[in-house]
Structure 1
Amino acid sequence: MKHVLIKENEAGQRLDKYLHKCLKEAPGSFIYKMLRKKNIVLNGKKASGGEKLEIGDEIRFFLSEETLDKMSGISPLISEECPDKEIAEYEAAYDKYKELEIIYENHHILIVNKPEGILTQKAEAGDLSLNEWFIGYMLYQGEIRREDLHTFKPSVCNRLDRNTSGMVICGKTLPGSQKMSELLKNRDLHKFYRLYVKGKVRKASLIEGYLVKDEKRNTVKISPAPIQDKSSYIKTKYEPLKVFEDKTLLEVELITGKTHQIRAHLASIGHPLLGDYKYGDKSFNDSYKKKYKIKNQLLHAYRLEFPELEGEFAELSKRIFTAGTPRIFHSLEENGQKQQI
């Protein structure tokens, strides 16, 4: 017989979902059969699987060692640790990116300023992304143990393109991850970006449209009208901060959050991002590439505004966080010929 005590990062989820993580090789039918036969019990009682786990709950497994070995794979039930290969990735990522700027941190979340050129999450095996850095950071700080990674892995909550810099929210606990996901899904967490675009933009505006993905080319297109089953509604708000001879520094509020939304939406109205070779103006970009070595879009996730929050997240209520723009933004401003808006 084996038993597991539920901790903070396992609490808040359904029992059957947790069991699927523990018994990775077991089909759902096996798990529900074991619950019906009371070979798996919750707090000493028969359970259906739909119960919501709480801190301190005890799950007992009246199963043979052989069955546990077969059904668990790598699991806390058989006291195995996270594979050394994974741990090595987390440690390598933390060592590589250990100078990253942490904007804010509490028990539940961490906000980090991601430089351009770093993946938020790995695209293929062997990548060292911000997500691996974050788990490495948690291990290094002693806030999570190797064995804890079987049932909960800290993770980033929002994604930025590799060449977009700025603030990424990371969930340190399951409640933190769940709350940030809720805020992002409901659009209660307001996200603002700083960027340079081609041309002079003198008035603030709210633009809407429909975004259509081209998965093969990893691009999107903007349509003024919906395309059945193929498009997503988008809304982008922007305001000019400084106007120069051939470009404008904008602040953009991303009201909806879709793939390449800012880049494609602004390009569709004639103001592509400076440095954006996928959606932008090649000759315009080339002139800045030659002078300033700019190779990618100048897009920075600058500010986060939290809504009113209560309970264990009250510390974040109405808080505003900013991440300073990269040095190239200031170089362009210092060397540009500014005009009145």
Structure 2
Amino acid sequence: MKEFTIGKNDAGQRLDRWLGKAVPLLPAPLAQKYIRLKRVKLNGKGAKRDTRLNPGDLLALYINDEFFDAPAPENAFLSVFQPQLDIVYEDENLLLVNKRPGLVVHPDEHEYVNTLITHIQAYLYQKNEWNPKQENAFTPALCNRIDRNTGGIVIAAKTAEALRIMNQKVKDREIEKYYLCAIHGKMAPLSGKLEGYIVKDEARNQVTVHSHPVTGGRTAVTLYRTLQMKNGLSLVECELVTGRTHQIRAQFAAAGHPLLGDGKYGRNRDNRRYDRKFQALWSYRLVFSFTTDAGILEPLNGRSWQVDHVDFVDEYFGKALPGASFNGKTRTLPNK
């Protein structure tokens, strides 16, 4: 319990608005609930949320201590009252979450509350599966990441052992990652391989694609196959052999077929025909193809997961997602 005496600068405020400023980590719905339950007492009694405060009023807050910490990325999960997660799979070690476009995966200089990892941490905290006060160092973490404006499956580790194993599997390319994208025009050939060397400009957060080795260039390989063509667009499935920054977006743009809605690598005149806020790219399917021991994650070897639907497939192609009948079996694209 913490007590506060209202001074002249706080006088005149509504109780609920004062509480939001005094305890910024306390989610607003939870603050309203605590006021109703009289866990916020004004001069020893319960009070309504719209009660105006006066100089000398004594407020007693029966609220957990962690909510009084200063807001920071590491405790931002406390501000998430109702985690918003589209969970594809969950067990005691891992979470597979379908991230919506527009949501950043990690806190940055612009946002540290409404992020994917913050919602995951809030979800596990509220389920009593993780409590930072009971941990020396571990925090639930992401094992892969995708761009803010890309949708799709992200892997989160719920335990330190799962994080260590999965990070190694990602590094060793023992996870097959399949994407769907909508591109302008028609690829020739309809299926094949995009190969090149990608150089990243850190200052601009943009990459360039080169056909030959260059200083600072990293090999980029994407396998693809065209699934459908309609209204000047092609629905293409891609498998990432490497995982470079903006790999799919940059390689298709370099091939003359930028992604629908891509403002960075696309052409405005092509995008103006369509009303789309984000690039049409979705990490829609994962396959765990472990070739070395996976320890506690070994039961997941050979299994695959796929999202139920992708918005731009529904909107522009009206077709069910490919691969729904694979039943967890591994497959590869042509020309691998």
Structure 1 residues 298-341: Cα deviation after superposition (integer angstroms, max 9, x where no partner): 11110000114654212211001001333332121139xxxxxx
**Aligned partner of 1:320: which letter?**
S
Structure 1 residue 173 corresponds to structure 2 residue 155:
no
2:300 matched residue in structure 1: 316
Shift of 1:92: 2.5
Structure 1 residue 330 corresponds to structure 2 residue 314:
yes
**Aligned partner of 1:325: which letter?**
H
**Whole-angstrom distance in 1 between the partners of 2:308 and 2:145:** 18
User: Compared with structure 1, are the counterparts of its residues 311 and 179 closer, same or farther at alpha carbon in structure 2 (3 Å cutoff)?
Assistant: closer
Structure 1 residues 246-290: Cα deviation after superposition (integer angstroms, max 9, x where no partner): 11000010110011011001111111100001001211101102x
1:301 matched residue in structure 2: 283
**Whole-angstrom distance in 2 between the partners of 1:316 and 1:123:** 32
Structure 1 residues 69-128: Cα deviation after superposition (integer angstroms, max 9, x where no partner): xxxxxxxxxxx9794635752032462xx2321111111110001011100111226422
Structure 1 residue 106 corresponds to structure 2 residue 86:
no
For normalisation by structure 1, the TM-score amounts to 0.69
**Structure 1 counterpart SS, 2:229:** strand
User: How many residues in Structure 1 have an aligned counterpart in Structure 2?
Assistant: 249
Higher helix share: 1
Structure 1 residue 127 corresponds to structure 2 residue 127:
no
On the 8 A contact 2:182/2:233 being kept in 1, the answer is yes
On the 8 A contact 2:162/2:296 being kept in 1, the answer is no
**Whole-angstrom distance in 2 between the partners of 1:185 and 1:93:** 31
**Whole-angstrom distance in 1 between the partners of 2:312 and 2:195:** 30
User: Compared with structure 1, are the counterparts of its residues 160 and 99 closer, same or farther at alpha carbon in structure 2 (3 Å cutoff)?
Assistant: same
Shift of 1:222: 0.2
Question: Taking every aligned residue pair, what percent have the same amino acid on both sides?
Answer: 34
1:53 matched residue in structure 2: none
On the 8 A contact 2:103/2:149 being kept in 1, the answer is yes
User: Compared with structure 1, are the counterparts of its residues 110 and 286 closer, same or farther at alpha carbon in structure 2 (3 Å cutoff)?
Assistant: same
Shift of 1:227: 1.4
Task: Spell out the pairing of 1:1-341 with structure 2 (5 A cutoff).
Answer: 83=69, 85-86=71-72, 89-93=76-80, 95=82, 98-124=83-109, 126-128=111-113, 129-201=115-187, 203-228=190-215, 230-289=216-275, 294-308=276-290, 311-334=295-318
1:58 matched residue in structure 2: none
On the 8 A contact 1:211/1:220 being kept in 2, the answer is yes
Shift of 1:144: 1.2
Shift of 1:184: 0.7
On the 8 A contact 1:81/1:147 being kept in 2, the answer is no
User: Compared with structure 1, are the counterparts of its residues 159 and 84 closer, same or farther at alpha carbon in structure 2 (3 Å cutoff)?
Assistant: same
Shift of 1:224: 0.8
**Whole-angstrom distance in 2 between the partners of 1:89 and 1:260:** 28
RMSD, matched Cα: 2.1
**Whole-angstrom distance in 2 between the partners of 1:204 and 1:94:** 46
User: Compared with structure 1, are the counterparts of its residues 173 and 266 closer, same or farther at alpha carbon in structure 2 (3 Å cutoff)?
Assistant: same
**Aligned partner of 2:316: which letter?**
L
On the 8 A contact 1:191/1:305 being kept in 2, the answer is yes
2:20 matched residue in structure 1: none
**Whole-angstrom distance in 2 between the partners of 1:262 and 1:325:** 20
**Whole-angstrom distance in 1 between the partners of 2:287 and 2:132:** 33
On the 8 A contact 1:138/1:144 being kept in 2, the answer is yes
User: Compared with structure 1, are the counterparts of its residues 185 and 166 closer, same or farther at alpha carbon in structure 2 (3 Å cutoff)?
Assistant: same
Question: Which runs of 5 or more residues in structure 1 are unaligned?
Answer: 1-79, 336-341
